[in-house]
């Protein structure tokens, strides 16, 4: 876990803003999760170029993806789904209604990174967390899930286009992998307070 200095939110997930790769992902759930969570994606940039994302499942193909990049000093964040392992197979997500509501204090672009902090409304659905883990919300058993991450320091095709094609995440300055999240550890009594910041 780490405390985000901009928002004061304690996030749980992968890495921290001081991560050697420059990438981190954190999330927070309410005590009784339904459809929403709070998330933060921080991803390294080179000359303002690059993107970072998370898969709400153990693989790239199939689960809901959340992706962010910089368009100048503006942060772009969107929901995607991948039908294959090439950039053109990562397409806008339309299966369920999703609204990404930025938390302004944690959403910015600087010289080295893009930071996107947001309330993800509708993001707990049949394409994200494994439905078999649903009974783990209220117990200490079987509530762990595996997520995937990816980032690239190569520009997306058209940064101003929310539906732009992403760049490949297997080259120099890129990274990808999976990580484990214990869902029972990331529920917070402060969720509604933080969600109201969006």
CA distance 128 to 69: 21
pLDDT(146) > 70: yes
pLDDT value of position 1: 87
User: Could you give the CA distance from residue 88 to residue 165 in angstroms, rounded to a whole number?
Assistant: 6
Q: What is the pLDDT of residues 83-109, one digit of tens each?
A: 988 888 899 999 999 999 999 999 999
What domains sit in the chain, N to C, each tagged with a CATH number? Answer: 2-195 (2.60.40.1210)
CA atoms of 25 and 23, how far apart (whole Å): 7
What number of other Cβ atoms are within 10 A of residue 141's Cβ?
8
Task: Compute the average pLDDT of residues 7-31.
Answer: 89
Strand partners, 25: 14, 41
pTM of the model: 0.92
């Amino acid at each position: 876990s780490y405390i985000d200095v901009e928002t004061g939110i304690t996030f749980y997930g992968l890495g921290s803003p001081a991560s050697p790769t420059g990438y981190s992902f954190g999330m927070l759930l309410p005590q009784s999760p339904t459809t929403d969570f709070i998330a933060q994606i921080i991803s390294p940039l080179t000359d303002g170029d690059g993107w970072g994302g998370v898969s709400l499942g153990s693989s790239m193909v199939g689960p809901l993806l959340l992706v962010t990049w910089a368009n100048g000093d503006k942060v772009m964040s969107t929901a995607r789904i991948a039908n294959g392992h090439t950039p053109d197979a990562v397409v806008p997500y339309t299966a369920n209604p999703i609204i990404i509501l930025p938390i302004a204090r944690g959403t910015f672009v600087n010289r080295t990174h893009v930071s996107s902090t947001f309330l993800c409304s509708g993001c707990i659905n049949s394409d994200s967390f494994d439905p078999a883990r649903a009974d783990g919300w209220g117990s200490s058993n079987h509530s762990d899930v595996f997520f995937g991450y990816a980032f690239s320091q190569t520009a997306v095709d058209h940064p101003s286009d929310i539906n732009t094609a992403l760049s490949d995440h297997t080259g120099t300055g890129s990274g990808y992998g999976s990580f484990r999240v214990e869902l029972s550890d990331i529920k917070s009594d402060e969720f509604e307070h933080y969600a109201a910041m969006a």
